[in-house]
Amino acid sequence: MPAFKLVISDPKSGKSISRELKDQLAQPLLGLKIGDIFDAEVIGIPGKIKITGGSDKAGFPMRADVLGGVKKYALISKGTGLRKVSKGERRRKLVRGNTITDEIYQINAVLVEGKLVKEEVQQQAS
C-alpha cells in the first residue's frame, strides 16, 4: 500500500504543514500529476490543493516535463534536478516522471483555496 509525506504550503501566510498519508488516505493521490488540483477534504484539510512536485524514495525529483511515473535520464539545461550549470550547458540527469505512483515518497503541494487551520500549524510546531 502507498505511503506519502505530503508537504502543503500556504502562500498567503508563508507557513507549511507536513502530513503522513498511508493506505486509504494515500489512495486518492495515486495517478495524479504535477499541476493537478484536487479537493483537500479527502485528506482532512478544507480547501483545494495543487501538486507542485515531489521526490521518490531514493531522492530523485519529479519533473513536470517527463511523462509517466517512470525514472528516466533526461537531457536538461535548467530547472528541477539540476544545479549550477554555465550558459548553454546541458546535462543528462536521472529524474522521476510527473505522475504519482507508489514509489513516490514526498509530495509537495500548495494551497489554492482555503487556508491552513491554526491547530494544524501548531500541531506541526510541537
Question: Is 8 a member of any domain?
Answer: yes
21-74 tens-digit pLDDT? 998 888 989 999 999 999 988 887 888 999 999 999 999 999 999 999 999 999
CA-to-CA distance for 61 and 92, rounded, in angstroms? 14
User: How many structural domains comprise the chain?
Assistant: 1
Residue 23 lies in a domain: yes
The Cα 88–Cα 52 span in angstroms is: 26
Domain assignment present for residue 82? The answer is yes
* Minimum mean pLDDT range among 60-64, 80-84, 93-97, 114-118: 114-118
Indicate whether 125 pLDDT > 70: no
Structural domain includes residue 126: no
- Determine contact, residues 26/3, Cβ cutoff 8 Å: yes
Whether 20 is in a domain gets the answer yes
Q: Residue 37 sits in which domain range?
A: 3-119
Q: Indicate the average pLDDT of the chain.
A: 89
Instruction: Say what the pTM is.
Output: 0.85
Residue 49 sits at φ, ψ, to 5 deg, of: -125, 140
